[in-house]
Amino acid sequence: MRKTIKTIKSLVFVVAICNLIISCKTTKPVKNTKPIIISATLNLVNVVDDKIKVEVKIKNLDQDTISYYLPKIVPGTYQNDNYGKYVEDFQAFDLQGNPIPVQKFNDNRWKIDNTKQLDKITYWVNDTFDSEDSHDVFSPTGTNILKDKNFVLNLYAFVGYFGNMKENKYKLFIKHPSFLEASTSLVEELPGNSSAAKNDIDYFVFKRYADVVDNPIMYSKPNKVTFTVNDIEVLLSVYSSSNSKVYKAAYIMPQMERVIRAQKSFLGDINSTKKYSILLYLSSSKSNDARGYGALEHNTSTVVVLPESLSPEKLDEALTDVVSHEFFHIVTPLTLHSEEIHNFDYNNPKMSEHLWLYEGTTEYFSMLFQITQGLISKEEFFERIIDKIEASSSFDDTVAFSTMSKNILVNPYRKNYRNVYEKGALISLCLDIIMRENSGGVLGILDLIKNLSNEYGIDTPFEDKKLIAAIEKASYPEIRLFLEKHVTGNTPIDYEYYLNKVGIHYGIKNIPSSYFIFKQEPFVTGSEASKEVIFTSDIPFNSFLKGLGIIEGDVLISINKKKYRLKNIYDLFGDSNKWKIGDEITFKIKRNGKVMTLTSNVVKPTVEKIILQQDPKATELQKKLFEYWVNE
């Protein structure tokens, strides 16, 4: 018995020693616990052949190999742009300056060996503005490198990320000409040694790579103003090569202040940012300059590209439409968004089903606030709605909108992308009307978004498949039924049915037209094969062409004996401006191979256009819902 006890004691002692050894072993670090520090430097001074050099240093790596990536796609673009294609001469070096082997795997990935010795990588980045004929990168999502004049830095095109390190802290140093200033919502910081701060080196710190992606910077000679709307500080910075007074930030500011003030009034207590920057690049529209006009949203800023040829009135109008859309993105998807957006994969993206929410609701808000805040008339609001109905009709309406959204990066769905701004906005319009109907007018889609934002937010994404249930909880069963039928289902929407709920019906109006073109849509086209001028149109012909007897497919031979071919097709527009009402005119055409002569008198051309009108027979309920809808 004692022997047994002694033996047990011995065993216990041995086990205890073993546990102690194991315990001690597990407390010993198995890998480097020092924080991995990533710092990048952009050199805007020593520009070579329209390229800038980027240096990325990384410390405390404890692995044999690592991959470095530039994004294939970034949030808000909905297309693969492969920013790594603009990188040249990618190299890696150790602490002694010796090169380390690098393998390039695709447009956006470089694999680096012996990374325990890695000190830095360097490469040169070309811009996109001056080569838009050779790629599809939308200008506001691209870059500009114009030595000593302008740099549009969408930072994701210059600074990449290391595999599995997108959550690491980033330091960014930008060396720039002292006479160029940065315009950004970022707050410049001082390096650890404040005496090292220089006027020609800017220093920024980012908590993670997503913040690098989300903060564009524009460098140019100072042409900017700052103003405050409620509790938001707004920066408007403008670059224009012409440097005309018309394009001074101070000249443009009053309209921007008016618009953003109206937007804040519309949003009410929704408040997602304390700073907002509008970085406006006005393009010369030449072959070596940006020609993709529009904007890209960010949490606290937007990059806008517009032609500098716009008149002051047209510039104000374009900025109102573009900036108002982008500003409303602070609500969706920058605040309210799905897991796919929250955990965005820049090189293997998974797209959300709910583009109607992100782009559609945003576009609808950019229309709605203008009528509720008195920036446009009811007639202008109606015209924008009918324009979207007509534009949406040119897309495939048999595909479920959620299916199209989920697969937006691939064909055949990709070609329907523009419909997110057309049908997407109309979906939100219908939801707004359903909300009004069920609440007696007092609640609309903005209230629905506010309710959803109380449950979800910047740091709390929703699951795509659970959104409709969450929407029903925050609104009404009729909202869920609509989404299941027309968004996740593929039943086309009867817009007239929903508009009738607020006392609006369809009507016809004759709109003045040119003889061969209507709203930049020509009634003729030229055949490259036959060199003939052919009547063809996606819109109904005007009253003059209809009265003459022209039908689609007719080939124009001559007018009053002047022959027209592809080489002089543009003469049609100038020649027709000289016609006088009442004069006799003779067209010679070819139809199905047979030559025909059509004679008429010149009349003033008009086009029949479907319009929206308030129904004079609307019920009191319809009138009440309409007033809540457009006046709240």
**Is residue 435's pLDDT more than 90?**
yes
Mean pLDDT of 291-319: 94
**Is residue 272's pLDDT more than 80?**
no
Q: Which pLDDT belongs to residue 4?
A: 34
Side-chain-side CA neighbours of residue 91 (13 Å): 10
**Is residue 271's pLDDT more than 70?**
no
Quickly count helices (H) and strands (E) in the chain.
17, 30
**Is residue 28's pLDDT more than 50?**
no
Q: Which residues touch 315 (CB under 8 Å, ≥6 apart)? A: 246, 252, 306
Structure tokens at 253: 């500011």
CATH, domain range 37-219: 2.60.40.3650
The strand pair at 275-283 and 232-240 is best described as parallel
The CATH architecture that domain 339-505 belongs to is Orthogonal Bundle (1.10)
Structure tokens at 503: 């006392």
Mean pLDDT of 321-343: 90
Structure tokens at 54: 């980027």
**Is residue 6's pLDDT more than 60?**
no
Residue of higher predicted confidence among 23 and 170 = 170
Mean pLDDT of 301-308: 96
Residue 26's SS3 state is helix
* pLDDT, averaged across the chain: 90
Confidence band for 60, pLDDT divided at 50, 70 and 90: confident
Confidence band for 33, pLDDT divided at 50, 70 and 90: low
Q: What are phi and psi of 136, to 5 degrees?
A: -110, 15
Give me the CATH topology for the region 223-310. Zincin-like (3.30.2010)
2-11, 340-349, 477-486: range with highest mean pLDDT: 477-486
Contact 97, 73 (CB under 8 A): no
Q: Which pLDDT belongs to residue 18?
A: 37
The CA distance from 151 to 183, in Å, is: 10
For 207-255, write each residue's pLDDT tens digit.
Answer: 999 999 999 999 999 999 999 998 899 999 999 988 777 899 999 999 9
The strand pair at 37-48 and 170-175 is best described as parallel
Residue of higher predicted confidence among 123 and 190 = 123
Q: Which pLDDT belongs to residue 193?
A: 52
Q: Which pLDDT belongs to residue 223?
A: 96
The CA distance from 511 to 508, in Å, is: 9
CB count within 10 Å of CB 514 equals: 17
For 371-390, write each residue's pLDDT tens digit.
Answer: 999 999 999 999 999 999 99
Confidence band for 35, pLDDT divided at 50, 70 and 90: confident
* Burial per residue of 55-79, b for 16 or more beta-carbon CB atoms within 10 angstroms, e otherwise: ebbbeebeeeebbbbbbbbbbbbbe
Q: Could you say which of 2.30.42.10, 3.30.70.1230, 1.10.10.10, 3.40.50.300 is the CATH number of the domain covering 514-604?
A: 2.30.42.10
**Is residue 17's pLDDT more than 60?**
no
- Of 126-135, 184-193, 581-590, which gets the smallest average pLDDT? 184-193
For 123-134, write each residue's pLDDT tens digit.
Answer: 999 999 999 999
Q: Which residues touch 40 (CB under 8 Å, ≥6 apart)? A: 54, 55, 56, 57, 158, 159, 170, 171, 172, 173
CB count within 10 Å of CB 190 equals: 10
The CA distance from 321 to 346, in Å, is: 29
Whether residue 307 is preceded by a cis peptide bond, meaning omega within 30 degrees of 0, is no
Mean pLDDT of 77-104: 95
First CA to last CA distance, the chain: 92
For 38-55, write each residue's pLDDT tens digit.
Answer: 999 999 999 999 999 999
Contact 103, 198 (CB under 8 A): no
The H-assigned helical ranges of 557-619 are 571-576
Structure tokens at 380: 């202008």
Residue 278's SS3 state is strand
Q: Which pLDDT belongs to residue 191?
A: 65
Residue of higher predicted confidence among 60 and 219 = 219
The CA distance from 479 to 482, in Å, is: 5
Confidence band for 164, pLDDT divided at 50, 70 and 90: confident
**Is residue 26's pLDDT more than 80?**
no
For 544-577, write each residue's pLDDT tens digit.
Answer: 999 999 999 999 999 999 999 999 999 999 999 9
**Is residue 2's pLDDT more than 70?**
no
**Is residue 10's pLDDT more than 60?**
no
**Whole-structure pTM value:** 0.84
Confidence band for 270, pLDDT divided at 50, 70 and 90: confident
Q: Which pLDDT belongs to residue 376?
A: 94
**359 burial level (CB within 10 Å; 0-12, 13-18, 19+):** buried
Mean pLDDT of 438-448: 96
**Is residue 32's pLDDT more than 90?**
no
> Domain spans of the chain?
37-219, 223-310, 339-505, 514-604
CA dihedral in degrees (265, 269, 272, 277; nearest 10)?
20
The CA distance from 133 to 415, in Å, is: 19
**Is residue 182's pLDDT more than 90?**
yes
Q: Which residues pair with 52 in a beta bridge?
A: 125
For 508-533, write each residue's pLDDT tens digit.
Answer: 999 999 999 988 789 999 999 999 99
Q: Which pLDDT belongs to residue 291?
A: 94
* Burial per residue of 243-267, b for 16 or more beta-carbon CB atoms within 10 angstroms, e otherwise: eeeebebeebbebbbebbbbbbebb
Q: Which pLDDT belongs to residue 23?
A: 36
Percent of the chain with pLDDT over 90: 81
Inter-residue long-range contacts of 479-486, CB under 8 Å, 24+ positions, other chains counted: 479/431, 479/434, 479/435, 479/448, 482/430, 482/431, 482/434, 483/431, 486/401, 486/427, 486/430
The strand pair at 109-112 and 170-175 is best described as unpaired
The CA distance from 246 to 242, in Å, is: 10
The CA distance from 439 to 123, in Å, is: 59
**Is residue 8's pLDDT more than 70?**
no
Beta strands in 381-503 (DSSP E): none
Inter-residue long-range contacts of 42-48, CB under 8 Å, 24+ positions, other chains counted: 42/153, 42/158, 42/159, 42/172, 42/173, 42/174, 42/175, 43/175, 44/151, 44/174, 44/175, 44/176, 44/177, 44/180, 44/219, 45/175, 45/176, 45/177, 45/200, 47/145, 47/147, 48/124
